Amino acid sequence: MASFDRRQFLQLGAAGLALGSSVPFLRNPIFRRALQAADCDLLPAKKMLIIWQRGGNDGVNTVIPYGDSVYNDTTRPTLFIDPADSIDLNGFCSLHPALAKLHEVYLDNQVAVMHRVGYPSSSLSHFSGQKYWENGEPGNLNNDVGIVNSLIGADPLLDGHQFPGAAVSYQHPQLFQGPRVLSHISDLRDYSLGTDPADVKLIGALPGMSDDGSGLLGIYSQPGSSQVYNGLIKNTGLAMTAGIDHLTCRGVDANSYTPYGAATYPSNSAPEEFTSGTSFNFFRQIQQAVQLLKETDVRVVGVELGGWDLHSNQGGVEGNHATRLSEIAHAVRSISIDLQDPSRNIWNDTVVLTNTEFGRTSLENASEGTDHAKSSVVFVSGGGVNGGTWNCDGTTWSDGDLTAIDENYLPHQTDFRAIYGEIIGDHFGLGASLDSIIPNYSTLGLTFPGIIA
């Protein structure tokens, strides 16, 4: 496939730009910005990386509440973790031993450990649970607009931005879907037009005075039709080409990226301490997400890690759950190091947020696993984060809370929307737009938990 050189793109567009509003294609703010751009310098900006733990993470064994007597080797015969094997946080709760690398960042006061995060009447369905976390409106399955999409749409500085958000994942998360078409990148190594100049015809040229143009530029410049999906296809094409232009201008090359310092992203060819069962594709996504945050003007990037729905063979100190947690811990530590690269240190301007649709039952099931439940754990990290532990101490947790709902569920104490609300308001500075980003936010009676410094 062809390399689409930025200079060629600007040359192709120069004549069309002079036509102004007479060409429908040029009324699109994304391409007017792309054609008019003299450079692609990076501007100071607040950023966010979201890590989706799909399947429902067992928060009880992630941040272990030893202060609750319900947590013992009778209620969790194969899952119980001895306190001597865990990482103490405050004398009441401890981290799973697989989170040792995350604890290193915690000791720098740059990780907020948020226990008991959820929402009222939590759904136990993967489909609806994920939908509610992503659209910010529990109970409304008809809202298809994700929080990230609304966030980007609410920021006037991002109107016409070529590359404001991107999901580096196999599926395009609901979180990023909505009126504004945001980039979906399965693998950054493939998100280009190659190097063969002969294939520039794929991009083609904008319409001239006596022709309809050619290639993608010609197709996407045509007036809209009555076809149901015409607008969606057209806007997707515009966003894709604008995104590729921005990456080309910035010289982004996923095949030659070198992490900073001690940051590493294990792979099949360089697994480090990781063995079979490891999601090396997750580490690839994390590396590519970090590269985009450092080398482009993107504001929000999302990645995903599955394998959390452990109804059986979950494991305790070791096993499937420990493997997933070790991947999260390694990723957070490497992100924190890599984003402090002196060539572009953006760690203080970046928030890393984990999400999961629900927690797991407090009692172990008959298959040595756990089932769908209510609240779980969220990690918020970054150079501008107030580190500490929330909702897991003797003042916020009563003995028996582990089974306070239906004798098996841990009730939530912090609504996930309050966490998003504080990030949106105090990190991105869009507090005045909260109701347009998280539906009816002002009516929820939530207070910010205090995670942003």
331 and 290 within one domain: yes
HEC readout, the chain: CCCCCHHHHHHHHHHHHHCHHHCHHHHCHHHHHHHHCCCCCCCCCCEEEEEEECCCCCHHHHEEECCCCCCCCCCCCCCCCCHHHCEECCCCEEECHHHHHHHHHHCCCCEEEEEEEECCCCCCCHHHHHHHHHHCCCCCCCCCCCHHHHHHHHCHHHCCCCCCEEEECCCCCHHHCCCCCCEEECCHHHCCCCCCHHHHHHCCECCCCCCCCEHHHHHHCCCCCCCCCHHHHHHHHHHHHHHHHHHHHHCCCHHHCCCCCCCCCCCCCCCCCCCCCCCHHHHHHHHHHHHHHHHCCCCEEEEEECCCCCCCCCCCCCCHHHHHHHHHHHHHHHHHHHCCCCCCCCHHHEEEEEECCCCECCCCCCCCCCCECCCEEEEEECCCECCEEECCCCCCCCCCHHHCECCCECCCCEEHHHHHHHHHHHHCCCHHHHHHHCCCHHHCCCCCCCCEC
Backbone angles phi, psi at 438, to 5 degrees: -115, 110
Model pLDDT, residue 239: 80
- Residue ending a domain, among 215, 235, 254, is 254
Same domain for 332 and 419 = yes
Interhelix angle 280-295/320-338, nearest 10 degrees: 20
What is the number of domains present in the chain?
A: 2
Asked if residue 342 belongs to a domain, the reply is yes
Residues 300 and 337 in one domain: yes
Q: In this structure, is residue 168 part of a structural domain?
A: no
Residue 427 belongs to a domain: yes
- One domain, residues 298 and 430: yes
For residue 68, is it within any domain? yes
Query: How do residues 20-58 score in pLDDT, each as one tens digit?
Result: 333 444 444 444 444 444 357 788 899 999 999 999 999
Identify the pLDDT of residue 197: 55
451 belongs to a structural domain = no
**Does any domain span residue 368?**
yes
In a domain, 173, yes or no: no
Is 131 found in the same domain as 148? Answer: yes
Instruction: Please say which residue of 212, 236, 254 terminates a domain.
Output: 254
Are residues 242 and 49 in contact, defined by beta-carbon separation less than 8 angstroms? no
Structure tokens at 86: 């865990």
Q: Domain boundary residue among 209, 231, 254? A: 254
Domain limits for position 345:
47-155+257-443
* Per-residue model confidence (pLDDT) at position 276: 83
Q: Say what the pLDDT of residue 32 is.
A: 43
Residue 219 confidence (pLDDT)? 65
Asked whether residue 160 is assigned to any structural domain, the reply reads no
Do 296 and 438 lie in a common domain?
A: yes
Indicate whether 9 and 27 sit together in one domain: yes
Give the per-residue pLDDT at 41.
73
> Does 331 share its domain with 405?
yes
The verdict on 224 and 290 lying in the same domain is no
Low-confidence residues in the chain, pLDDT < 70: 1-39, 193-232
CATH number, domain of 365, equals 3.40.720
Q: Are residues 308 and 350 in the same domain?
A: yes
Q: Are 242 and 281 members of one domain?
A: no
In a shared domain, residues 408 and 325 = yes
d(CA 453, CA 447): 15
Cβ atoms of 314 and 321 within 8 Å: the answer is yes
Residue 338, class by beta-carbon neighbours within 10 Å (0-12 exposed, 13-18 middle, 19+ buried)? buried
* Size of the chain, expressed as the number of residues it contains: 453
